[in-house]
Amino acid sequence: MDTLTRMRTFVEVVDAGGFSAAARKMGRSKALISKYVKELEDELGARLMNRTTRRLSLTELGQAYYRDAGEILQRVDDLQDMVRDRHGEPTGLLRVACPRTFGDGMLGRAMMEFAVAHPAIKLDLRLDDRFVDLVDEGFDCAVRITEMQDSSLIARKLLDYRFVIAARNDIIAEHGRPEHPNDLSDLPCIIDSNLRSRFSWRFNVDGAKHTVQVRGRVEVNSPMAVRLAILSGLGFGSVPYVMVRDDVAAGTVDLVLEPFESVGAGVYVVYPHRRHLSAKVRSFVDFMVDWTAKADMNNCDGR
């Protein structure tokens, strides 16, 4: 049994949170998985894991080995992808993170079309509204709604995106219609904890970025929940226009501060800097860029 196989098995056990879960994922017996990890520890002459019947934890050496082993295996996988890239279609596991706002809609359909077009790729799509860490959580790439200020990532823009400030009509009548972004600091606001600056809302005032500190008694972690809070009369919410477009059309919700809407937000597909970009990631990024360029995006950005 070679060292790379033992190393990969160890990493899979840690990622899965246990031997049984890793065995199911790898399609091997729990006894064999345990044997590989034990052989790796014997080969290294060090204990990497503390095992009990209830939980598994890493030793200090195990934590360091897990971190470096993951980087080594990624380099090996990248090297194999580089070779395969010259001899056939992209293949392997592709892990993608995407907000539910898009994964359940148009871009989710695009990803399914990508999976159909590339049968040799195993697509693992995780829909989550939180801001995932691509490297630490082992994702190949992600779709993000952002102004793309993170220089540690490479980004390809898919489309522009519009954020609006919305509230129910009776709430606007009760508190008064804000005429300037600063007015929001004295109004009840709905906080989306997924946003990096959840208490600092950004606007465009006289062509310059302007930040307003907001507060409110309701905090959620989903734009869908922001919409529900708006419809419940709990305050003013910063939300993608697509989420409230039908409510605005029905006259239930109204938009405020439209002349001050922040510009520059967009939907991007992002991936970490790497010396070699694997064929599976490159094919996915190119597919998404091409798909959004051809599709009718009016249903996404709301403009």
| CA quadruple 237, 243, 245, 251: dihedral sign | negative
Q: Which of 170-179, 191-200, 272-281, 292-301 tops mean pLDDT?
A: 170-179
**Would you call 291 exposed, middle or buried from its count of C-beta atoms within 10 A (0-12, 13-18, 19+)?**
middle
**Would you call 146 exposed, middle or buried from its count of C-beta atoms within 10 A (0-12, 13-18, 19+)?**
buried
Residue 190 has pLDDT above 90, yes or no: yes
Six-digit token string for 20: 């049984």
Six-digit token string for 120: 């040799």
In a domain, 82, yes or no: no
Judge if 170 and 236 occupy the same domain. yes
Residue 86 has a pLDDT of: 63
Residues 6+ apart with CB under 8 A from 243: 101, 223, 224, 226, 227
Judge if 269 and 250 occupy the same domain. no
CA separation (Å) from 157 to 71, 142, 174, 198?
27, 12, 40, 23
Judge if 154 and 295 occupy the same domain. yes
Residue 288 has pLDDT above 90, yes or no: yes
Per-residue pLDDT band for 85 (boundaries 50, 70, 90) equals low
Residue 138 has a pLDDT of: 83
Judge if 246 and 208 occupy the same domain. yes
In a domain, 84, yes or no: no
Do strands 188-192 and 163-168 pair parallel, antiparallel, or not at all (unpaired)?
A: unpaired
The enclosing domain of 21 has a CATH number of 1.10.10.10
Judge if 231 and 148 occupy the same domain. no
Residue 91 has pLDDT above 60, yes or no: yes
Judge if 274 and 128 occupy the same domain. yes
In a domain, 156, yes or no: yes
Judge if 184 and 156 occupy the same domain. no
Residues 6+ apart with CB under 8 A from 256: 165, 166, 167, 172, 177, 178, 236
CA separation (Å) from 295 to 7, 33, 207, 269?
43, 46, 31, 16
The pTM of the whole model exceeds 0.85: no
Residue 302 has a pLDDT of: 41
In the chain, how many domains are there? 3
Judge if 105 and 221 occupy the same domain. no
CA separation (Å) from 57 to 29, 62, 91?
21, 9, 33
Residue 150 has pLDDT above 60, yes or no: no
The enclosing domain of 224 has a CATH number of 3.40.190.10
In whole numbers, what is the pLDDT of the chain averaged over residues? 88
Judge if 117 and 135 occupy the same domain. yes
* Over residues 119-132, mean pLDDT: 90
Partners of residue 201 on adjacent β-strands: 212
Judge if 155 and 168 occupy the same domain. no
The closest alpha carbon to 253, from 243, 264, 266, belongs to 243
Residue 301 has a pLDDT of: 44
**Structural domain boundaries, residue 96:** 92-161+265-301
Residues 6+ apart with CB under 8 A from 185: 212, 213, 214, 215
Per-residue pLDDT band for 296 (boundaries 50, 70, 90) equals low
Judge if 28 and 105 occupy the same domain. no
Residue 27 has pLDDT above 90, yes or no: no
Residue 61 has pLDDT above 70, yes or no: yes
Residue keyed to tokens 């695009």? 110
Range of weakest confidence among 40-44, 67-71, 132-136: 132-136
In a domain, 85, yes or no: no
